[in-house]
Chains A and B, each alone.
Chain A
Amino acid sequence: MGRMINLTIDGKKVNVAENTTIIKAADEIGIKIPSLCYHEDLIPTSGCGVCVVEIEGSDMPKRACSTTVYEGMNVKTNSIQLRNLRKMLIELILADHHVDCPTCIANNKCELQDLAYYMGVKTEDIASLMKKEPVDDSSVSIVRDPNKCIACGRCVTVCNEIQTVYALTHVNRGFDVEINTPFSKGMADSICINCGQCAVYCPTAALTEKIETDQVWTELLNPAKHVVIQAAPAVRVTLGEEFGMEEGSLTVGKMYAAFRRLGFDAIFDTNFTADLTIMEEGTEFVTRFKEGGTLPLITSCSPGWVKFMETYYSDLADNVSTCKSPQQMFGALVKTLYAKEKNITPESITSVSIMPCTAKKFEARRSEMNDSGYQDVDYVLTTREIARMIKEAGIDFKHLEDEKADDLMGIYTGAGTIFGATGGVMEAALRSAYYLITGKNLPDCEIKAVRGMEGIKEAVVDVDGIKVKIAVAHSLGHARKLMDKIRKQIEETGKSDYHFIEVMACPGGCVGGGGQPFGSSLATRARRGETLYKEDKGLKLRFSHENPAVAALYEKFLGSPGSEIAHNLLHTHYFHRDKLEGKVVKEATYKNH
């Protein structure tokens, strides 16, 4: 901790560490300085100028986002001059922004709209500088609309600094500056790994998910279709936010009720296949650990991470678990086991998943994800998309009575639910791995060392005298650091001292996914994660191996974890991808040796 600085903001005294910016100092005493390109989680780009404040002794206003405090500083955050400047800046931004608020995906959640509305800016008085450009909808996950882009640079910062993916960059100069992919090839032909963090941080709707709600409505309203839904762990703690409920509200019962009212024929839960993933992955880990297989084992639930690995670390593909993600395990089972149980043809089934994620849209469309003989998961909706459908249907989400999921694939344990938070998969896997090795349950099943928002979390877990070294990384920047370390260890000594690694592409894990409600921060994500841990604590079943529905599935259909049919339906393989366009070059691992 450095020196402390005393300053005055709007007549209020505040004491902050040196090098604090004015905007952060103001935030500490509850003063919110209007800002647009600034986001508390990101290095300021200082682009828009909206956050200017007056500093005594300085004849020019200064940006609060990037000006640091000094002793005795006296700051004014509002004045006639500042209001006029901010209004003019918002007008200049709106002049080059496609204003279609009523139908815009970010309507009521747009930071530009908010500022214009609060300041009373009139759009009809503003001369347009717009040059209509084509929307880039080449990607199956992310749509980029340059007409709504205000070139604030947040997406570039998050893509390059936090995710280290480098799929977005500034192109051109001056007024022609825009955000694009390298060589402007379009999102589909870029190294974008579809994590959608750009969309979560975008203050407007210049970057959004590829909307699939119309297709899902068409399926729902078609009486010949049997539409099955699954919802990911992290959706139950964020859906409420879209309906004005407190951040981190657990809405699992209301969520099922809403799905039923929307007309889904079977309401299931991805948490069920999260438990199944643990059975498969836990077994895979124990087998590798006991039989001297490739270690560390690295998790494979996060499709953003998987594509990142295929692009930058495909030399480590053998270390990555062959398990499919819970979404894809579910998809493979719906059109096989479930179709058989219900005696319906797989062709008449539409499999829809609700995900906190934009990369899941890409994952569902990977060509190898068709082990049922069909595309295993037909449509993937984000939390934001399903919220819009619920609103369109006029469902009063907040006041819905809790309902239950349907049997067969709707029962889950606490281990399944914590998948949604960083460290959750590791914790759930260790709970079951411990059981698989020792035949007993962990005395204290809460592995606190892997919880929380620290970028890379490491621990050594004692499994009946055997020391298991684990690490958890969230955000791909941290994953990159960890993978570089592992790669170096393997290069230098032939092996790594880690045994088990969890990687989630998004900061905070799936609770911070690219499909989650707009306007979040790392602090919001932490709160959502805490709710998942609370749910886990309150559940009677907290070990995946105790899930009766999973046990029944093995008994009736799959045999045992890692069996031939389990291998065929629940496991996958990986590719090498080129570092320019992210395209498949060749196989990196093989499903059938």
Chain B
Amino acid sequence: MDFYSLAEYKAILGSGAILVMDNSVNIADMLESIIRFFRHESCGKCMPCSNGNEMLYRSIKAIKRGEADESELDKMVIIAETMHKTSFCALGQSLLLVVKSAIENFKDDFLTYLRNRKAVNN
């Protein structure tokens, strides 16, 4: 397992830490936790990262409250892509991988989650 072989799976080794989750983990909770971490770590020097993280955090919060629809997920990917391409350092650049792979690989989970939340809200 190294950077290159993991890259084939569009995954990153990062600092070498591995986070293992089973099916019981809610993908929205996982994404919120990771975005919260990045938002906290953003230094504020460059706007794409500081405002981008804040916007992503508000989006995932809205999703968790069931106050969003599918387009919110698309918006999150666009924001993360913008952050990836315009952030000054690797912190703002690397969140894309998490956001994009979570949303693309677990889209159905997100949509089910949103439907359920909305049903509860109503």
B29 to chain A, nearest CB (A): 21
Asked whether, in the complex, the Cβ of A88 is within 8 Å of the Cβ of B47, the reply is: no
Do B46 and A92 touch (CB < 8 A)?
no
Q: Is the CB of B51 within 8 A of A172?
A: no
Instruction: Say which residue of A47, A85, A92 sits within 8 Å of B85 (CB atoms).
Output: A85
Question: Which residues of A sit under 8 angstroms from B44, Cβ to Cβ?
Answer: 151, 170, 172-177
Q: How far is the CA of A92 from the CA of B50 in the complex (A)?
A: 10
A95 on the interface (CB 8 Å rule)? yes
The reply to whether A92 and B87 contact each other, CB–CB distance below 8 Å, is: no
Partner of A177, one of B48, B50, B52, B79: B50
Q: Which residue of B lies closest to A93 (CB)?
A: B47
Contacts of A173 in B (CB 8 A): 42-44
**Cβ of B93: which chain A residues have Cβ within 8 Å of it?**
60
| Bound-complex Cα distance A127 to B76 (A) | 12
Q: Is A483 an interface residue (CB 8 A)?
A: no
Asked if B115 CB lies within 8 Å of chain A CBs, one says no
Contacts known (A85-B82, A88-B82, A174-B40); A150 close to B88, Cβ less than 8 A = no
State the CA gap A93–B85 with chains docked (Å): 16
Q: Residues of A within 8 Å of B, CB-based: how many?
A: 31
The range of chain B's interface size is 20 to 34
Tell yes or no: B86 within 8 A of A by CB: yes
Are B39 and A175 within 8 A (Cβ)?
Answer: yes
State whether the Cβ of A96 lies closer than 8 Å to any Cβ in chain B: yes
Which of A92, A151, A175 sits near B42, CB closer than 8 Å? A175
Whether the pair A93, B87 counts as a contact (CB closer than 8 A) is no
Answer whether residue A52 sits at the interface, using C-beta atoms and an 8 A cutoff: yes
Closest residue of chain B to A129, judged by CB?
Answer: B54
CA distance A582 to B24 in the complex (A): 60
**B55 with A127: CB separation less than 8 A:** yes
What is the CA–CA distance of A37 and B41 in the complex, to the nearest angstrom? Answer: 22
- Interface: A89 (CB within 8 A): yes
Instruction: Give residues of chain A (152-177) contacting chain B, Cβ–Cβ below 8 Å.
Output: 152, 170, 172-177
Q: Closest CB-CB distance, B105 to chain A, in whole Å? A: 23
In the complex, the chain A residue whose C-beta lies closest to that of B84 is A60
Nearest CB of A to B81, in Å: 8
A-contact 0/1 string along B11-52, CB 8 Å cutoff = 000000000000000000000000000011111111110111
- Give the docked Cα–Cα distance between A93 and B107 (Å): 28
Given the complex of chains A and B, what is the CA–CA distance between A46 and B42 in angstroms?
15
Residue A34 CB within 8 A of the other chain: no
Given A46-B88, A85-B82, A85-B86, does the pair A150, B47 have CB atoms closer than 8 Å? yes
CB A592 to nearest CB in B, in angstroms, measures 52
Q: Does residue B58 face the partner (Cβ distance < 8 Å to A)?
A: yes
Closest A-B pairs by Cβ, 10 of them: A177-B44, A49-B86, A174-B42, A175-B54, A88-B82, A92-B51, A49-B48, A174-B44, A175-B50, A173-B44
Q: Which residues of chain A have a CB within 8 Å of any CB of chain B?
A: 37, 45-49, 52, 60-61, 63, 81, 84-85, 88-89, 92-93, 95-96, 127, 129, 150-152, 170, 172-177
